[in-house]
Every structure is written in C-alpha cells, then in structure tokens.
Amino acid sequence: MDNRQWIWQSPDWPQFNWDDDIIQPQLRQTRLKMGKLVGKAESRPGQDAAEYSLDAMLSNILASSAIENERLDAHSVRSSLAKRLGLTWHLPGTTTERSEGLAKIMMDVFNSDVGELTETLLFQWHCWLFPEPAPAFLRRGDWRGDATMRVVSGRIGKEKVHYQAPPREQLSADLTAFLQWYNQSRHRAALDPLLRAALAHFWFITLHPFEDGNGRITRALTDMALFQADHESVRLYAVSEAILNHRKDYYDVLEATQRGTMDLTDWLSWFLKMLETSVDTAIMRIDQTRVKTLFWQMHHSNGLPAEQVKVLNRLLDGGDNGFAEGISAGQYQKVAKVSKATATRHLTDLVARGCLTRTAAGGRSSRYKIIDNFSSLNGNFMKNITFYGRFENDILAGRKTITLREASDANFSAGDKVCVSRYEDNVFFCNIEVIAVTQVMFDDLNDKHAVQENMTLEQLKDVISEIYPGLKELFMIEFRLI
C-alpha cells in the first residue's frame, strides 16, 4: 500500500511537468497585457510613472502581509519606500524598523545588482521581516528546527492538517536543490520566465523552510523572479494584491497541488490568472489616473471651491470609496462637511458646469456621476494615443488622418473613440474616432504614408528602420476628428 500523502514524498520530486496546451495560451495573453501596461505607463509623465511604481510596491507589501492576517501601517511603509526610491516630492513621514525592513526587502527584489539568491540573502530578508525583539519561538534568520512543520486550522482537538512540510533532515538537501535551480534556471532560454516565477513560488512554499514568514518570503522571491524576467512591467503591478483578493482559492489550489502529482498545470494556470488579473488592475488604475488628468485639464479654470474639488476627486479616484453608483446629496454633505442646502446647491452647480450628470431617478434616490467624456459606451475607459506636437495643428485641421504604428501601439478597432495627447508633455488636445486599422508591410509603404508623416518616403523608411530594426509589419490607423 502506498502511504505517500504529500508531493515531496514522491520519488519523482521535484521533476515538475505541465500541459503546454493549457499554459502557453495563457502565457501569450499575459505577456500581451504586460506590454500594454508598460506602454501606458511610459506614455505618462515621469513623476506619474514613479508614483505607479511606488503604489505597486506598497500594494505588494501590504497585501502579502494581509494574506497572513497582518495589518501594516501603510503610511510608514510608503514613507520608507519613497525614501529609498528617491521620490523627493513626498513629504517625509514617520517610519519604523519594521517598515524600513520591508522596504529593504523590496529594494533587494527590484535590484539587478543583488546577484544570486543565497541562504545568506534569505536569512537577511527573514531578519528584516522580523526585527528585534522577535517572537520567542522564532529562529530568526535561520531555518526551522526539528519539530514537524504543519499548516493546520480549527480549534484544539479538531485540527485539520492542510499540509505537512518535508522533515528537517530532508530540508537541507531540498533547499540546496532549490537554490541551485533558482539561480541556474534564470539563464535557461527554454524555460519561460513567468513559469519560472510560478514554479519558484510553489517549490519554496512547499519546502516551508522557516518557523514563520514562509508566505511573505515566498512572494518576495517570486517578485524577484518576475523582475529578473522583465525589469519594467513588474514595477507596475502587484501579484500579492490579486492573491489576497482570491485568498481562499490560493490556499485551495496550493493544498490540492501539494497533495497531488508532479503535474503542476492547475497551479501554473491559477498563478497566471492572478498575474493577468494584477496587470489588468494596474492598467485600469493608469486609465483612471489619465481620465482624472484629462478631467482637470478641462475643468481647472472653473474656480471650484475646495469642497467641490474634494468630492470630484473622490468620484474620479473610484475604488471602494468612489461611489460607483454615483453620489447622493446626503453623501456629498458628509464627504464635503457642508449643510444639506449647500450640498444641494453645490451639486446643482456642478451639473450646470458640465462636471456631473444627474441620474434618471428623482427625489431622494437621485445620484450624481462624473461626466468624463473619456468613457466608451461599454463603461470602459477610452483608449489613448499620443502624437508628436508637430502634428497637432494638422490633426485639428483635418489634414492628418492616418498614422503608422507597430503592433504593440496599434491595439485599436474601427469605431473606437480615442483621446489624443501630445507626446512631449501628455497634454490632451482632441478626441478622434478610428475608421480602420490595416496591416501594411514595410516594403509596401508609399508616398501617401510619407506625406501623412511630413516626410519623404526615403526619410520615413529610414526613421522606421532606425527605431524598429528589421521590422517588416506595420499597422495603418485611419481616423477622423470628433
């Protein structure tokens, strides 16, 4: 009879495998969205891009701790991160030894000079995670002791064992194998870097090498693997936040996989879904920031009082406190801290100024929503595109009606309404509607394309060849001013 219960008891451990027919399409979809995320972030001013990175790092730290039911002081952690990122426009705040340690871990994670993952580095992270005075039971900065390591739930006498880690006598060899694989696999062209991150996550959490902090250390080295795969996009999204929002599923898929065979398809598929979800969330937040910027570019000269600005910003920021269904007069009164009569007068004024629209429901059911002019009919944020400032007058005059883009910058369809901004300063200047998106081969470029770019055909081809060496396929976006 086979009494093996845990994956590490298999003679094949850790020779993992998976179904590429399931995993590869997910990889392609996730990578496509990562490219879109980087493109959106790069189109924003430098200070905005730095803020996105700070926010993602902060979300990762807070969420990773929240998964373990630990609530951190967000202001302290944010101050520690901002200081290490050199964001001088942030006012210095109060920091703690804990927030400083967490920031140091994150800086290591996103530091290409850190080098290989070693026992010494993991011990240092553990010490930063648990500053002195550490709990009495904890072997701070060291592997766990000889006691059996189990993940359990339930009251005493009714415990349920969700997982039992490898015994201490097996752990040293397992950790040596893991660290060797982690460092060598970074240079294996045949292993997709996103899969490497997912494998590292599962392998290390299954070893459970510390008395405490295994989940948080696991998610840190997972972020390090993602950074080693792509220095740009990983600074913009927070996988731990997605895991927190699906925490039960996280524990369920881990437990099922740790009780299963070497086939990790279900775990890898779930991890890639979380990765894609975190990228989608980051894209949405950048779009929200862009819409907020465009809104205030249109309404900055209205001379609104502070109470109205505060409420509009709450509505523009969205999220759990953003009044997704609109804000009522009573809610306005509480947020702005004004009288009921003033709240009603302010809302009426904002409707008249074109900032808000009143919902169809009347009386006490009335709600007020932002008129953003930047949302599609489906409720999704309008797409955005930038042009060099030298094209602004031609676009506004209707003389420029096509643009050539490479694939990652041509994610448009006929009928899309698009916000247009200047590339140099990201200032909005018009909206356009896409008429058609057509593939154009480099060798088929002609004088019509060149004239629209204010160049000769020879100049156009030279510029494209310099920016995109070897590029053979372009996309022509036809549009009209609206």
Please name which of 146, 147, 144, 196 lies closest in space to residue 175, comparing C-alpha atoms: 144
Using CB atoms within 10 Å of the CB of residue 422, give its burial: 0 to 12 exposed, 13 to 18 middle, 19+ buried: middle
Structure tokens at 312: 């509009």
Please name which of 286, 284, 252 lies closest in space to residue 267, comparing C-alpha atoms: 252
Give Cα 23 to chain centroid, integer Å: 21
- Does the annotation mark 403 as catalytic? yes
Report the C-alpha gap between 231 and 244 in whole angstroms.
Answer: 23
Catalytic residue of the set 33, 400, 448, 458 = 400
Catalytic residue of the set 453, 461, 466, 478 = 453
Give one word for 19, left, alpha or beta, with left for phi > 0 and alpha for psi -120 to 50: beta
Report the C-alpha gap between 37 and 353 in whole angstroms.
Answer: 33
- Does the annotation mark 132 as catalytic? no
DSSP letter (8 states) at residue 245: H
Catalytic residue of the set 30, 222, 289, 403 = 403
Counting other chains too, the contacts that 126-135 makes at CB distance below 8 Å and 24 or more residues apart are 126/210, 126/213, 126/217, 127/101, 128/100, 128/101, 128/102, 128/104, 129/101, 129/102, 129/105, 129/213, 129/216, 129/217, 130/212, 130/213, 131/97, 131/98, 131/101, 135/212
CB 418 within 8 A of CB 434: yes
Phi then psi for 430, rounded to 5 degrees? Answer: -175, 170
- Compute CA distances 363 → 104, 288, 340, 479, whole Å: 54, 30, 14, 43
- SS3 call for 481: strand
CB 72 within 8 A of CB 129: no
Work out the angle between the directed axes of helices 74-85 and 97-109 (0-180°, nearest 10).
50
Structure tokens at 151: 């993940």
Q: Enumerate the active-site residues.
A: 400, 403, 453
